[in-house]
Amino acid sequence: MTIRKWIEQIEGEASVQFEFEKNHVSFATIAFPHTRGMEAILQSKPAMDALVITPRVCGICGHSHLFSAVRAIESVYANCGAPVEISQKAESIRELTLTLELIQNHLKWLYLVIYPELSHMLQEKIADSCRLKGAYAASLATKILAIFAGQWPHSSYMIPGGVTCDPTHVDIIRAEGLLDELIRWFEKELIGITLDEYVCYSSKKTFLTVTGDMKKIENMLKRTKMHEQGFSYDRYLAMGEHEFSKPSKLVNRRMAKVHSKFVTLEEAYSIDEKTYAKNALYHDDYFETGPLARTMIEGVPFIKQMYKNYRDSTYTRVMARSYEAALLLEHSKKLLQSIKLNEPSYIQPLKKIATLSGEGIGIVEAPRGSLIHSVILKNGIIDQYKLITPTQWNLSCGSPEIPGPAQKAMIGSDSIETATFTFRSFDVCSVCTTH
Amino acid sequence: MKSRPKLLWLQGVTCNGNTHSFLNYPHLSYILETFEFLYHPILPATYTLEKIASCTQSCDILIFEGAYDPRMMRAGSRMETLVQHYGSTANTIIAVGSCASFGGMFKQSDPEYITGVGFDREIAKGPFAKSNKLINLSGCPIHPEWLGYTLRMIADNKVILIDEMHRPKELYAYLAHHGCTRNEYFEWKVDAEHFGTKEGCLFYKQGCRGPMTHASCNKILWNDVSSKTRIGSPCFGCTEPDFPRTNMFETKTNMSIPQDVPLGISKRSYLTLTGIAKSFRIPRLEKRLIDDNT
């Protein structure tokens, strides 16, 4: 039996065609029906305009696109033998605002998508006020971000050579106050224990002390048997370089270095429906990217423990994203303290951008995983711009013989509903996928 | 509970930026209590998009996000049909963001077919062209307070005065320049030498469009804390019909004077004034605000 379903609330929609046999999902074809042709829009524009255009790829992770774009342009400078110097201060501020974008994303997803979906599956009521907690927490994170970036969404404050802002201690203290408020909210509403205690967790046993909404969500994941399904390839990839994530892949418990030259794109498998998505592969294999991949690669004890019990199930995937929010809150605190205000925010590149010709690549860890921008410039003008977004890895639509990571995770689900939840556990972004 | 006005949030060619910007609105609970959301891409709503796409419902307020492409299919229905149906039932149509208002960023996806819902750049065109129901909240993205204001005015049955581009005057009569912390540098024509400083005006070299952009960004601060110009980024003029322009980090100049001068000022007067202002040397404005920030 074939069942076609629109999956919404994923930054747009996807059309999924489920094959349902003997009470189980035997295959699913995923189609993303809209595209905006961002790569074509970028063509022939001055390189700096990419810093205004690329954030508009996505309303929820535009800041990650900005960071990728600036890294891509800076990489052109480096490849031309004129590397751009960046102060530690600018690096820390960039890293901080990216981290805050990840936090807002994870908390919105948890409260506005995951919690309501689980409630719906268990036929339990969830108050609107509870869902709005996610928006409130996210707005605190973006407030801190805006102190440095001017606004969120759609800031363009990262430029080759640094950042445009020039904060003072007044800004830092304001940011620290807001971060403190966000952490207190996180402790009170989500975990019921201190953030310090939570990020120091090493075994599943101690999860018993967690109260708050996280305990409810964890319990709902168990009741819906999410720890028994949603297994994917158990292959993880993180390509962006940050203090919170090292570029690596993890396959069969083996870590290895990664290089962008092994990344390829292929046409998505489709039966009769037009899709604008392209599959992303590493060394011709599908990989899972995002918080589960990052925490597995980083060897985060809490997630490793969950993995030991429930492998790469939907349960572990959801818990990894939620837990990453806690780790990133802790990381933000450190980053804020590390900003050296006496350093320059911006160091003017020696070479004029209008004279720049060459290739460059910029990779960051976005909320959903590895995001790649690659650019070819000719005399400062964009000759070619290519984007590979995290959902292209996770939601690759492969054939029944070799399904993509999310497809593989959905196969075997006992209902369309649970398969859909597993789909959501990857935190799908439709607008990014087809860009 | 008495019946609440029915609000439908429909999306065309979009990045979801307005949706996410609005999630920063501090009074979302009030909005959810005052209006019934028939559909919203993220917030709790009565129906799914699939149900909305069947055109069996009616709404009082239609919020449209994204550029308008009549051929676009959304959950199996043609955009032209959806917009016609819900536009005819609605008393108010709110275009949120510059794509919905004027075509914006995503008009470039297919310039021949894609427009805003009531304007194509500055020309009246689209399904709600010249409609007295249309309110444009341009900006890339909208500021959450701008939409919050509009919805509350509607809920309270108050009249929203609009300009010739259908934008509420109380929000767009201001320029992004108003309230900019760099105003004194603008007055005395002191340029920012480069990016990354609190000092200097970004109008002369860095492409700032603040003095000719209708927006209250420096009056109603972004995320309640800041704005582009306050953190040293130029205003890109994202609320105007010509957004996005090209070379957005550079000021086009003629004989070292910006080619576009502040709104409503004659070029000649501006040149005279600039000449006079530049003839002063004001050491205080040439120095850093704070000498030694450690």
Nearest-angstrom CA–CA distance, A288 and A239: 12
Instruction: List per-residue pLDDT tens for chain A, 435 residues long.
Output: 999 999 999 999 999 999 999 999 999 999 999 999 999 999 999 999 999 999 999 999 999 999 999 999 999 999 999 999 999 999 999 999 999 999 999 999 999 999 999 999 999 999 999 999 999 999 999 999 999 999 999 999 999 999 999 999 999 999 999 999 999 999 999 999 999 999 998 765 667 889 999 999 999 999 999 999 999 999 999 999 999 999 999 999 999 999 999 999 999 999 888 999 999 999 999 999 999 999 999 999 999 999 999 999 999 999 999 999 999 999 999 999 999 999 999 999 999 999 999 999 999 999 999 999 999 999 999 999 999 999 999 999 999 999 999 999 999 999 999 999 999 999 999 999 999
- pLDDT of B294 above 80: no
What is the least distance, in Å, from the CA of A303 to any CA of chain B? 28
Q: What is the pLDDT of residue A180?
A: 98
Residue in chain A nearest B16 by alpha carbon: A59
Contact state of B196 with A108 under an 8 Å Cβ cutoff: no
Nearest-angstrom CA–CA distance, B151 and B145: 10
Contact state of A49 with B247 under an 8 Å Cβ cutoff: yes
ipTM above 0.95, yes or no: yes
Nearest-angstrom CA–CA distance, A198 and B285: 50
Which pTM was predicted? 0.98
Cα-flanking dihedrals φ and ψ of residue A20, to 5°?
A: -120, 115
Nearest-angstrom CA–CA distance, B237 and B255: 23
Cα-flanking dihedrals φ and ψ of residue A16, to 5°?
A: -120, 130
Q: What is the pLDDT of residue A208?
A: 81
Q: Residue B218: enclosing H or E segment and its boundaries?
A: none
Residue in chain A nearest B292 by alpha carbon: A342
Q: Does A61 touch chain B (CB under 8 A)?
A: no
- For the domain made up of B174-287, the CATH class stated in words is few secondary structures
User: To probe the interface with A, which of B1, B10, B20 has the most A CB atoms within 10 Å?
Assistant: B20
Contact state of B195 with A342 under an 8 Å Cβ cutoff: no
Q: What is the pLDDT of residue B3?
A: 85
Q: What is the pLDDT of residue B27?
A: 97
- From chain B, pick out residues whose CB is under 8 angstroms from the CB of A159: 195, 249
Cα-flanking dihedrals φ and ψ of residue B110, to 5°?
A: -160, 75
- Could you tell me if B92 and B61 are in contact, meaning their C-beta atoms sit under 8 angstroms apart? yes
Contact state of A52 with B244 under an 8 Å Cβ cutoff: yes
Angle at A113 between CA A10 and CA A129, to 5 degrees: 135
What is the least distance, in Å, from the CA of A1 to any CA of chain B? 21
Residue in chain B nearest A61 by alpha carbon: B17
Q: What is the CATH number of domain B6-169?
A: 3.40.50.700
Q: Give the pLDDT band of residue B292 (cuts 50, 70, 90).
A: low
Q: What is the pLDDT of residue B255?
A: 79
Contact state of A58 with B16 under an 8 Å Cβ cutoff: yes
- From chain B, pick out residues whose CB is under 8 angstroms from the CB of A143: 24, 223-225
The count of C-alpha atoms lying within 13 angstroms of the C-alpha of B136, restricted to the half-sphere facing its C-beta, is: 36
Map out the domains of chain A with their CATH numbers: 2-434 (1.10.645.10)
Q: What is the pLDDT of residue B10?
A: 98
Q: Does A400 touch chain B (CB under 8 A)?
A: no
- Could you write out the DSSP letters of every residue in A246-314? -SEEEETTEEE---GGGEEEEEPP-SSS----EEEEETTB--EESHHHHHHHHT-HHHHHHHHHHTT-H
Who among B13, B28, B108 is closest to A135 (CB)? B28
Q: Tell me the mean pLDDT in the region B75-81.
A: 96
- pLDDT of B108 above 80: yes
Q: What is the mean pLDDT of chain B?
A: 96
Q: Give the pLDDT band of residue B176 (cuts 50, 70, 90).
A: very high
- From chain B, pick out residues whose CB is under 8 angstroms from the CB of A346: 194-197
Contact state of B233 with A148 under an 8 Å Cβ cutoff: no
Q: What is the pLDDT of residue A351?
A: 97
Q: Give the pLDDT band of residue B257 (cuts 50, 70, 90).
A: confident
Q: What is the pLDDT of residue B54?
A: 96
- Could you write out the DSSP letters of every residue in A343-412? S-SB---SS-GGG--EEEEEEEEETTEEEEEEEEEETTEEEEEEEE-HHHHHT----SSS--HHHHHHTT
Write down the domain spans for chain B.
6-169, 174-287
Q: What is the pLDDT of residue B69?
A: 98
Q: Tell me the mean pLDDT in the region B72-78.
A: 94
Contact state of A157 with B196 under an 8 Å Cβ cutoff: no
